[in-house]
């Protein structure tokens, strides 16, 4: 069930419910408490605002910061563990690989194999654009925070670019 933040407002008082499943019970008990002065109540408003997207956006911002820090800290381990298989041939025209760097021959080797376009889904690293220009490699950067899925629009743009 989608989590939501619901605010029950009565005469300037607010009560917050963290989970949609408990909202109706909370609303009922809130109204039952003041049943005696039911006639004096002038306005009650129940406003539910889904916060799943807010929570996801907050998690994405936090993940973005963590990814930027840890990318540079863990990159040497990634490189050393995948030195032999830094790229994988998916089909005759598509290579799947890790981030290219300017200080290693990560652009020269794919360029020598005929790579002329790169789809970059990394939010935390833009890749060596100067080396791409030297080798006439086009890059489509679709920033995607680590551990989050790219949007459908980004995937559609990537397929169109390929």
Cβ-contact 78, 124 below 8 angstroms: no
Residues 6 or more apart whose CB falls under 8 angstroms from that of 77 comprise: none
Domain segments of the chain as ranges: 4-50, 55-161
Provide the pLDDT for residue 160: 94
In terms of pTM, does the model score above 0.75? no
Work out the end-to-end distance of the chain between its first and last CA atoms, rounded to an integer number of angstroms: 38
Per-residue confidence band for 2, with pLDDT thresholds at 50, 70 and 90 = very low
Question: Which residue do the tokens 């607010």 mark?
Answer: 14
- Three-state DSSP class for residue 89: strand
According to CATH, the topology of domain 55-161 is 3.90.190
Structure tokens that stand for 144 in this block? 């995607």
How far apart, in whole angstroms, are the C-alpha atoms of residue 89 and residue 123?
23
- Helix/strand/coil percent split, the chain, to 5: 45, 25, 30
d(CA 127, CA 155): 19
Tokens of residue 51, six digits: 């916060």
Average pLDDT over residues 48-64: 62
Each residue of 81-128: pLDDT tens digit? 766 677 788 888 888 877 776 666 678 878 888 889 989 887 767 778
């Amino acid at each position: 069930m989608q989590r939501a933040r619901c605010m029950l407002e009565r005469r300037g008082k607010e009560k917050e419910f963290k989970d949609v499943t408990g909202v109706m019970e909370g609303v009922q008990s809130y109204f039952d408490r003041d049943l005696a002065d039911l006639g004096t109540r002038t306005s009650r408003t129940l406003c539910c605002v889904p916060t799943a997207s807010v929570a996801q956006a907050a998690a994405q911002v936090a993940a973005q910061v963590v990814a930027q820090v840890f990318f540079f800290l863990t990159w040497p381990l990634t490189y050393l563990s995948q030195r032999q298989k830094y790229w994988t041939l998916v089909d005759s025209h598509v290579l799947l690989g890790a981030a290219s760097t300017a200080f290693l021959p990560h652009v020269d080797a794919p360029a020598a194999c005929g790579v002329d376009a790169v789809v970059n889904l990394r939010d935390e690293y833009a890749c060596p654009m100067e080396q791409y220009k030297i080798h006439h490699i086009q890059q489509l950067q679709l920033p995607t925070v680590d551990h989050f899925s790219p949007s459908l629009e980004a995937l559609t743009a990537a397929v169109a670019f390929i």
